[in-house]
C-alpha cells in the first residue's frame, strides 16, 4: 500500500508521531512518503524516509515574514504575557492560508505518486482537502488535541476551502477526523465534547537520546527533588528572548530545596548567561528532555503538546507557563485533570512561581494522578497497531 503523510513545515509537527509512524509503516512493507514544506525536508531524509516537497507550503514563520499572514493579536508581547490561541486565527491560518496552497500542491503530488491512503497531521488541512477532492481514504494524526477544531470559524473556513475545490459543504467541523483519528494520549486527556466515537489512541515509542544523559546532569545532587524547566525551542525567538521570564524561573528555583535543571535554548551558551546563577540550579543549552523526565519530580513547562505528552508518559506533574499557540489550552487541561497547575506569564513573579512549584511538589495527589495517566498510556497499543488500523481504511 502507498501511504502519503502530510504535515506542516514545522519540526514539532513531525515529531513525535509523523516520523516514527512513517518508519513503522515502511518497516511493515508499505511504500511511504511524507509531504511537507522544504524547510523541514532534511529531518525526514535524515531518518531514511522519502520526502515530497510541497513548493508553496510555508512554515508559520515564513508566512509571517512574507506578509501573507498576520501574527495573532498580542504576539508582539509573547514572552511577557500569555497569548491565547484565538479560534479565528487558527481557522484563518491553518484551515485557510496554509491549507489552500498545500491542497493544490498535494493534488499534483497525489496524481503522480498515486497514494492509496492519505494521513494528515491534525493541523494540516491540505491533506484532508486533497484526499476529499481525489476520493482517497484519509485520516488524522492528532498532534494537537486541544486546538479549536470544532469552532464555528473553523467550520466556516473549512467549507470555504471545500468550495474552492468544488466539494459540497459539510455540517460537521469534525469531518476531517471522523473516518480515523489517532491520538497519542489516553482518551481521558481529551475534554468530553471532543471525544469522537471512532477515535483510537496509541503510545509513541520513547526517543532514546544518542550517547545517553549528559554526565554533568547525571552527577547532580540526588538528595532533593529534581525539577526540569524549559520553555521550548521557540522561546529564544520571542521578543526579548523571554529573558526576563527565564530569569524569574531560575530565581524561583533558587528559593526552593530542589535541584533545578534549566534548558535555556539550543542557541544560548550557559557560560554567557548574564542572569542569576543559584548554586542549586544547573544551566544548560539543551537537555535530553524525554530521558531526564524519567527521573524528574516536577516539570516546569510552556505546555507545548510534545513536552506535555512526554511528561504524562513519565508520570511527572507540571507547572505550566503557557506562551502562545494552543499551549494555554493544554495548560488549562492539565489543571482540570489535576496533574498540574497553570500560571500565566503576566502573573509570574519569583514568589508566585516558587509557591506554585512548592505546592505541586508537596501535594502528592498531583503525582498520583499523573502516574494514573502514565499507566493508561502504557496500556495503549503501539504504532504497529496504528499502521494496521490506518491501512484498513483503504482495504
Q: Coil, strand or helix: which one is 155?
A: helix
- Alpha-carbon span 373 to 309, nearest angstrom: 10
Q: pLDDT truncated to tens, each residue of the chain (395 aa)?
A: 999 999 999 999 998 899 999 999 999 999 999 999 999 999 999 999 999 999 999 988 888 888 888 888 888 888 899 999 999 999 999 999 999 999 999 999 998 999 999 999 999 999 999 999 999 999 999 999 999 999 999 999 999 999 999 999 999 999 999 999 999 999 999 999 999 998 999 999 887 666 789 999 999 999 999 999 999 877 777 877 788 999 999 999 999 999 999 999 888 899 989 889 999 999 999 899 999 999 999 999 999 999 999 999 999 999 999 999 999 999 999 999 999 999 999 999 999 999 999 999 999 999 999 999 999 999 999 999 999 999 999 98
* H or E element, residue 329: helix 327-337
Answer yes or no: same fold for 2-203+381-393 and 215-378: yes
Nine cell digits for residue 276: 542569576
Q: What top-level class would CATH report for the domain 215-378?
A: alpha beta
For residue 383, give every residue at least 6 positions away whose Cβ sits within 8 Å of its Cβ, in sequence order, or none.
20, 21, 24, 202, 203, 204, 205
Closest CA to 96 of 161, 163, 10: 161
- Alpha-carbon span 262 to 107, nearest angstrom: 45
**CB atoms inside a 10 Å sphere around CB 293:** 21
Q: Where are the domains of the chain?
A: 2-203+381-393, 215-378
pLDDT at residue 319, rounded to an integer = 98
Query: Contact, 233 vs 12, CB < 8 A?
Result: yes
pLDDT at residue 235, rounded to an integer = 77
Q: Buried (b) or exposed (e) across 332-354, using 16+ Cβ within 10 A?
A: bbbeebebbbbbbbeebebeebb
The CATH architecture assigned to 2-203+381-393 reads: 3-Layer(aba) Sandwich (3.40)
Residues making up the chain, counted from first to last:
395
Amino acid at each position: 500500500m502507498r501511504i502519503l503523510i502530510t504535515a506542516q513545515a514545522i519540526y514539532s509537527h513531525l515529531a513525535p508521531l509523523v516520523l516514527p509512524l512513517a518508519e513503522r509503516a515502511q518497516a511493515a512493507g508499505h511504500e511511504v512518503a511524507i509531504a511537507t514544506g522544504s524547510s523541514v525536508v532534511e529531518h525526514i531524509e535524515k531518518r531514511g524516509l522519502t520526502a515530497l516537497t510541497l513548493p508553496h507550503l510555508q512554515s508559520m514563520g515564513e508566512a509571517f515574514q512574507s506578509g501573507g499572514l498576520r501574527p495573532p493579536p498580542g504576539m508582539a508581547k509573547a514572552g511577557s504575557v500569555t497569548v491565547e490561541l484565538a479560534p479565528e486565527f487558527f481557522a484563518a491560518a491553518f484551515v485557510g492560508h496554509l491549507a489552500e496552497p498545500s491542497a493544490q500542491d498535494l493534488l499534483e503530488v497525489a496524481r503522480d505518486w498515486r497514494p492509496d491512503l492519505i494521513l494528515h497531521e491534525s493541523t494540516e488541512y491540505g491533506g484532508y482537502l486533497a484526499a476529499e477532492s481525489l476520493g482517497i481514504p484519509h485520516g488524522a494524526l492528532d498532534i494537537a488535541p486541544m486546538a479549536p477544531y470544532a469552532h464555528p470559524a473553523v467550520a466556516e473556513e473549512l467549507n470555504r476551502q471545500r468550495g474552492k475545490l468544488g466539494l459540497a459543504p459539510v455540517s460537521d467541523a469534525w469531518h476531517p477526523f471522523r473516518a480515523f483519528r489517532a491520538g497519542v494520549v489516553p482518551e481521558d486527556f481529551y475534554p468530553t465534547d471532543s471525544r469522537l466515537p471512532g477515535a483510537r489512541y496509541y503510545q509513541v515509542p520513547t526517543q532514546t537520546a544518542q550517547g545517553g544523559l549528559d554526565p554533568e546532569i547525571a552527577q547532580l545532587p540526588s538528595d532533593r527533588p529534581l525539577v526540569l524547566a524549559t520553555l521550548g525551542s521557540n522561546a529564544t525567538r520571542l521578543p526579548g528572548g523571554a529573558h526576563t521570564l527565564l530569569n524569574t524561573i531560575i530565581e524561583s528555583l533558587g528559593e526552593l530545596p530542589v535541584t533545578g535543571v534549566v534548558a535555556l535554548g539550543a542557541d544560548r551558551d550557559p557560560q554567557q548567561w548574564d542572569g542569576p546563577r543559584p548554586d542549586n540550579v544547573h544551566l544548560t543549552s539543551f537537555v535530553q528532555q524525554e530521558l531526564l523526565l524519567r527521573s524528574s519530580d516536577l516539570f516546569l513547562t510552556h505546555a507545548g503538546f510534545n513536552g506535555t505528552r512526554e511528561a504524562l508518559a513519565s508520570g511527572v506533574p507540571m507547572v505550566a507557563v503557557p506562551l502562545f499557540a494552543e499551549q494555554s489550552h493544554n495548560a488549562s487541561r492539565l489543571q482540570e485533570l489535576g496533574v498540574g497547575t497553570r500560571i500565566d506569564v503576566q502573573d509570574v513573579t519569583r514568589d508566585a512561581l516558587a509557591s506554585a512549584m512548592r505546592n505541586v511538589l508537596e501535594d502528592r495527589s498531583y503525582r498520583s494522578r499523573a502516574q494514573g495517566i502514565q499507566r493508561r498510556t502504557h496500556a495503549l497499543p503501539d504504532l504497529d497497531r496504528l499502521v494496521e488500523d490506518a491501512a484498513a481504511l483503504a482495504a
